[in-house]
Amino acid sequence: MRKGTKLKLAILAIAGLGLVASGSAFADERDMQIDSRGGIQLGNKDARGYWFDLTGRIHYDVALFNGDDNDRAGYPSGSNLRRAQIAMQGGVGDNWEYKAEINLASVAFDDDSSSFLTANIVNEAYLAYAGCRNMWFAVGQISVPFSLEDWASSNAIPLMETPLPIQAFSPGFGLGIYGEWQYMNMFTLAGALYHPRHGILQTSTATGPDGLTLRGSDRLGIAGRLTFSPVHVPGHTYHFGLSARHQKLHDTHNGLGFVATPEVRARSTAFLGTAIAANTSEHYEVYGLEAAGQWGPLVLQAEYVMADVDRLSSSGGDADYNGYYVSAAYVLTGEARKYDFASGTFAGVAPHSKRGAWEVAARYSYVDLSDDGVSLPVGSSSVAPGGEHDLTLGVTWYVNKNVRFMANYVHANIDRNGSGEHKLNIFGIRSQVNW
C-alpha cells in the first residue's frame, strides 16, 4: 500500500475517533449543531462541551529568483507546496479540549521513504483544560510562545513569509506543558516548560559498546511571552510585548543552529545559518521585544530579537546573534483586522464585499547569523553564516475569509561568509485556502 494511501486512511481513522469522542453530544438533538461555513464543526460549544472541528490549510507558492549568475548560485526558481495541513480539535466534556494538527506537505507528496520516516508529521497534539477563569492549560506537543509574528497564524500574516529574525530565532513546537493567564483585560502571560521536539537537537556520532548510537537525554527549555495592550477596541489597538526563552543542551550530544531564508522561498532555496559545530554549546537564551499599533485598516509593527549562545571555552567562547524588522500593512478597501487579546496577535482580513478585499504591505528586515568566534564548517554546505537584508513588498486579494492570493517582491542582499555578497530580486505568488 502506498504511503499516501496509508496516511489518508490514518487521517480518516483519527477523524472518526474525534466523532466518537464527541458522539454523546448528539444524543439530544437540541445540543446538535452542524456548521460547514469554511470548516466542519459538529456539536455545540455552548451546550455540553462535546464538539468536533475539522480545519486545514493549503498554501501553494511559485518563486522566481532573478540576478546575475553568481548571485543566483544556490537560489533556483521553482514551486513549493509551502503548507498542507489538517487539524482536528474538539471538546470532550466540561472544560476539556484537544487538538491534533498533521503536516502533510513533507510526506503525502514525497516518494522518498527516508523523508517519510524522519519528517515531523505532527505540529500540535495536546489535551487542554479551560475550566479556570482567565486561564488555559495544555499538555502534549505545543507551540512554544515567542514573538508577535511567529505566534500569528500563517493564514493571517500579511506577507508570504515571516521576517528573517523570526525565522531564525523562533522555537516552533515543543513537548511539555503550556499555560496562559489574562489580567485586567490589559496583560496576557503565556509560558511553557518543554523538551525540544524530537529530532531537532539530538545528534551524535558516538556509539556505545553494543554499537548503538549514543544520544543524550532531553534537556528542558523554558519560554515566556508577556503582552500589554492598554487599548484594543475594534479598529484601534496598541500592543507591546517581550519574550524570552532558555534552552539547556546536553553536554556531548547536541546540535544547534539558527537559520533563515529569503522572504520568498522555493523548495531548494539555500539557508543562511550560524554554522555552530555539534557538541560545542551548553545552553542558549533568546530575547525579543515587540510593538504594534492599529488605526483602522492600518497596522504598524516592529520586533527586535537577540540570541546568546553559551559555548565551551575550548570551542571559541560565546556567540551572539540578532535581528529586527519593521512593517506596515494597509487594507485598501477599508476593513480592519481583528485583534485577539488572548494570543496578542492580529487575525486575517474578512472582506465586507462580495468582490473581496485588497491589502498592501511593506517590510524591511535584517538578521546577523555570523560571529567572529564561529568558523566556517569544513567543506561545502548549503548553510553558511552571514547577514541578510530583505525589503519585501506585497499585495493580497482576499476573495473571501477562506481564499486569498498573494504577490510579493523581495530585494534580498545576502552576505554569505566564504561566497561573497548575493543581490537577488525575488518574485513570489501564493494561492491559499483555509477551512
Q: What is the pLDDT of residue 378?
A: 42
For the segment 162-166, the average pLDDT, to the nearest whole number, is: 97
How far is the CA of 224 from the CAs of 128, 147, 362, in angstroms? 18, 10, 29
The Cβ of residue 24 has, within 10 Å, a number of other Cβ atoms equal to: 15
How far is the CA of 316 from the CAs of 244, 252, 309, 322, 373, in angstroms? 25, 16, 11, 19, 5
Query: Could you give the CA distance from residue 27 to residue 144 in angstroms, rounded to a whole number?
Result: 37
Where does 92-147 have alpha helices with state H?
113-118
* Grid cell of 251 as nine digits: 553536554
317-343 tens-digit pLDDT: 788 999 999 999 999 999 999 999 999
Q: What is the pLDDT of residue 132?
A: 93
3-state secondary structure of 5: helix
* Grid cell of 27 as nine digits: 444524543
Identify which of 340, 346, 319, 313 has the alpha carbon closest to the alpha carbon of residue 156.
346
Which residues span the domain enclosing 231? 3-202+216-434
Query: Is 209 domain-assigned?
Result: no
For the segment 47-72, the average pLDDT, to the nearest whole number, is: 88
**Whether 161 contacts 260, CB under 8 Å:** no
Query: Could you give the CA distance from residue 387 to residue 392 in angstroms, rounded to a whole number?
Result: 16
Query: Is 235 domain-assigned?
Result: yes
To the nearest whole number, what is the mean pLDDT of the chain?
84
Query: Is 426 domain-assigned?
Result: yes
124-159 tens-digit pLDDT: 999 999 999 999 999 999 999 999 999 999 999 999
CA angle 5, 10, 11 (to 5 degrees): 100
Query: Is 264 domain-assigned?
Result: yes
pTM: 0.85
Query: Is 208 domain-assigned?
Result: no
Give the pairing of strands 386-398 and 357-368. Answer: antiparallel
Q: How confident is the model at residue 32 (pLDDT cuts 50, 70, 90)?
A: low
Identify the burial level of 114 via C-beta atoms within 10 angstroms of its C-beta, where 0-12 means exposed, 13-18 middle and 19 or more buried: exposed
How many domains are contained in the chain? 1
Identify which of 400, 406, 309, 311 has the alpha carbon closest to the alpha carbon of residue 352.
400
CB proximity list for 416: less than 8 A, separation 6 or greater:
272, 384, 385, 386, 422
Instruction: Indicate whether 278 pLDDT > 70.
Output: yes
Query: Is 321 domain-assigned?
Result: yes
Query: Is 210 domain-assigned?
Result: no
Instruction: Indicate whether 374 pLDDT > 70.
Output: no
**Whether 178 contacts 190, CB under 8 Å:** yes
* Grid cell of 180 as nine digits: 496562559
- Where does 234-280 show beta strands of DSSP type E? 236-248, 259-260, 271-273
Q: How confident is the model at residue 199 (pLDDT cuts 50, 70, 90)?
A: very low
The Cβ of residue 344 has, within 10 Å, a number of other Cβ atoms equal to: 27
Query: Could you give the CA distance from residue 131 to residue 137 in angstroms, rounded to a whole number?
Result: 9
Q: Residue 350, by phi and psi: left (phi above 0), alpha (psi -120 to 50) or beta?
A: beta
Q: How confident is the model at residue 20 (pLDDT cuts 50, 70, 90)?
A: very low
Q: What is the pLDDT of residue 42?
A: 74
Instruction: Indicate whether 35 pLDDT > 70.
Output: no
Instruction: Indicate whether 379 pLDDT > 50.
Output: no
For the segment 228-242, the average pLDDT, to the nearest whole number, is: 98
**Whether 414 contacts 422, CB under 8 Å:** yes
3-state secondary structure of 14: helix
Q: What is the pLDDT of residue 396?
A: 98
Query: Is 207 domain-assigned?
Result: no
Q: What is the pLDDT of residue 244?
A: 98
Domain with 186 in it: what CATH number? 2.40.160.10
